[in-house]
A and B are shown apart, each in its own frame.
Chain A
Amino acid sequence: MTNNPLRDPRDRRLPRIAGPCSIVLFGVTGDLARKKLIPAIYDLANRGLLPPGFALVGFARRDWEDGTFAELMREAAKAGARTPWNETVWEQLSAGIRFVPGAFDDDEAWVRLATTLRELDQQQGTGGNHAFYLSIPPGLFPTVVSKIDQHKLAVADQGWRRVVVEKPFGNDLASAKDLNQLIGNVFEDDQVFRIDHYLGKETVQNILALRFANQLFEPVWNSNYVDHVQITMAEDIGIGSRAGYYDGIGAARDVIQNHLLQLLALVAMEEPVSFDAASLRVEKQKVLASVRPPTDLDRHTSHAQYTEGWAGGEEVPGYLQEDGIGVKSRTETFAAIRLDIENRRWAGVPFYLRAGKRLGRRVTEVAVVFKRAPHLPFEHIDVTELGHNALVMRIQPDEGVTMRFGAKVPGTAMEIRDVNMDFVYGGSFVESSPEAYERLILDVLLGDPPLFPQHTEVELAWQILDPIIKHWSRKRRIDKYPAGSWGPQSAIDMLAADGRTWRRP
């Protein structure tokens, strides 16, 4: 591949097209597969980024033929595709669609799968390159992974074998280690792709561009100028139909462990030597290893459940009234924590992380809040409305960057007030920019790992969260907040104790 004379690093028009390969999808009937993965695969094909002869194999306990399965996939792709529907593209794609019926512990089915893969190597020319995508509950991982091993599917005479796993990567440090060991015994470390779809988002990658491609921000990106950082991931919806998954997991495990700590790492890390996977990883691991959970966990953490209320004009049930949730559940739907990073750059700058459901509106953002100017040569009354300068990176929706600074209110008096300066990053071109899953699936097929967290990062993140979650689990009661609000009083108090307030995103 390196000495292909038709490829030239200066030739930026030529897209990266994955080599011939297949994806073996476990959990084809799941929501994620239908709503995200299948449409993303179709969109990749439509953009011409999938190799000629790409194959997709479904494995599930259903009595389907290849044709039935292909038809179901077609509906899913059509419903979720972001690019225009093109029947020809789908026909080419469906030529490589296979279905293997059987239970995950049924050896005969695995023999059929192995045969199917061999046939695909012949018919579609997939050349022994197969990625196993485990879009299944973590409880089924041991069965599937050990069967992959037992049937010698993780090793190939030719080509590569990769495995793709989705969060949750365990539910505490111990289980994460078990999981990593389980997968690590079967697959080489660099062939394991953990999907944190946040890292596939353009705006998340833009954090690195903003920080390291500009001269403007990096000089003030430290404790000399930054007062604190707030990372928010708010959802306006409740748990909906995800009760079975969510109850017992909660906001901290669901999103703080992965998305929010990854955002923290990208915002706080030092400049990597280069943007390859290994260099990025080193920096992320360094910063995660320097993170310290608060010493006073009662004062600097908050966890709560939403109660019934009016959210966005609708009357909605409380968490305990949701279908499938026990009346005694203590799972948190809101979590806020303060973290400190013990290095020279960030000493004394708290990072406040919060995540929750049924909050004011759907928004994910990182706000870097600066210190006030050391001296203000104005009358006190002139600057009463001047807050802290802030740089807000909006991850979703309305992707972009906002700068908040003081400006003079027009008029004869000197009066200074905060104003916003907005950059809308792709607000207008989201429809044609690739979805996070497209990018990530393509990266898996290309074997390009910079956007995938590696097991050390996962374990470091659990190390940060474990003492906090343990502390919460020992408590008898959990705070409440009305649906549609911005969280419980304890979260407000947590910042008030430090003399700060949450931004209203």
Chain B
Amino acid sequence: MDITLESTTAAKIARALSKGRSEAGSPAMDMALTMVIIAEEDNVSEVMKAATVLQHEHPSRVLGVITGSKKRDSNLTARIRVGAGSPGESVLLRMSGQLVEHAQSVVLPLLLPDSPVVAWWPGKGPLVPAADPIGQLAQRRLTDAERTDHPVDWLKKIAAGYQPGDTDLSWTRLTLWRALLAAALDQTTGTVLSGRIQADRANPVGVLLQAWLECRLRVPVEFVHTPGPQVACASLTTTEGDIRIRRTDTMTCEFSVPGSSSRIVPIRRRDIAELLAEDLRRLDADEIYAETLAHLAKDSGRK
């Protein structure tokens, strides 16, 4: 059911939520977490849809926050959705005026008791997510470098303000590549001597992949600028021969390890809901990401 509240307050929204739940016939819902989405008017429908898909794996209360013009009068509008085909509830909060500066004052009373809070900036997020007023309420803070103008520079900048619990979705996008490379090394007995990444210089995924490999393998990893939206190729030179994973099209790549013929394996591009679902499976800090990001920042300082 949909309820819209004009000129409202957090308390009224909370009352409407519990009333909505009672009327949907299920006053108690098992929700695992609260997800706060700091959205913008031009991406709100896309991200709220992704959040609904996500709710199927992680039943949650989704709070969408859109901050409008500061010049207008302070006002809070809420659109509440309970039931209606999704296993959770969502509230879209539109704020304007002075309230924009105090968005967390609306969010705080609407957080589920005790359960974890995740903040997601689907657009351009803050450089220090943990210092953001809403970020401070959250255990996990998800940003997305790909949505910024200069993703790689931006990643290097957020590295300075990293706090446990931060993750950038470009790291999540990298998981399938990392899984294939780890599987390739499982099958190889040799020692890695060097590595090579072919990707667009501006691709944050490729840059993180390079940093991760350098960080884990402690060997030089060369970055070859190859224009294109996705990582084109990753290869590792080992004492036994070359490991190579080369993208053949948007869905597949060619996988070769020393000692057996090369094969085609799927490596698909996942949509945002799948990426979020992966991120929310673990709510503690991702230390490997932290180390990779630190390596990336340190590396750029050296150059």
Contacts and interface: CB of A to CB of B under 8 A. Distances in A.
Contacts of B261: 123, 125
Interface of B: 28, 30, 55-59, 87-88, 172, 175-176, 178-183, 185-187, 192, 213, 216-218, 251-252, 255, 257, 259-261, 263-268, 277-278, 281-282, 286-288
Given A6-B217, A429-B59, A13 B186 contact: no
Identify the interface centre among A4, A52, A89: most chain B CB within 10 Å of its CB: A52
Nearest to A11: B288
A88 B28 CA distance: 43
Identify the interface centre among A51, A124, A425: most chain B CB within 10 Å of its CB: A51
A20 B278 CA distance: 25
B179 A19 contact: no
B260 A125 contact: yes
Interface string A419-459: 00111110111011100000000000000000000000000
Contacts of A425: 30
Given A13-B278, A13-B286, A51 B183 contact: yes
Contact of A13 (B57, B175, B252): B175
Identify the interface centre among A4, A7, A431: most chain B CB within 10 Å of its CB: A4
A17 interface: yes
Contacts of B268: 86, 88
B181 A6 contact: yes
Contacts of B265: 48, 52, 92
Interface string A42-59: 000110100111000000
27 contacts: A5-B185, A5-B192, A6-B178, A7-B185, A11-B288, A13-B172, A13-B282, A14-B178, A14-B179, A19-B183, A46-B266, A48-B265, A48-B266, A52-B265, A53-B260, A53-B263, A86-B266, A92-B264, A127-B187, A428-B55, A428-B56, A428-B87, A429-B57, A431-B56, A432-B56, A432-B57, A433-B57
Contact of A1 (B55, B178, B179, B186): B186
A124 B260 CA distance: 8
Given A1-B186, A4-B185, A92-B252, A10 B179 contact: no
A88 B213 CA distance: 28
A88 B287 CA distance: 34
B182 A14 contact: yes
A429 B56 CA distance: 5
A8 interface: yes
Given A4-B186, A7-B186, 17 more contacts: A1-B186, A8-B216, A10-B288, A19-B187, A48-B266, A88-B251, A92-B265, A92-B266, A125-B263, A127-B260, A425-B30, A427-B87, A428-B55, A428-B87, A429-B58, A429-B59, A433-B57
A344 interface: no
Given A88-B251, A125-B263, A429-B59, A6 B176 contact: no
B263 A52 contact: yes
Nearest to B174: A13
A52 B255 contact: yes
Contacts of B57: 429, 432-433
Given A48-B267, A88-B252, A6 B30 contact: no
B266 A5 contact: no
Interface string A2-28: 001111101111110101100000000
Contacts of B287: 10
Contacts of A15: 179
A309 to B, nearest CB: 32
Nearest to A87: B251
A429 B178 CA distance: 26
A51 B282 CA distance: 24
A229 to B, nearest CB: 25
Contacts of A428: 55-56, 59, 87-88
Given A48-B176, A429-B56, A5 B216 contact: yes
Nearest to A1: B186
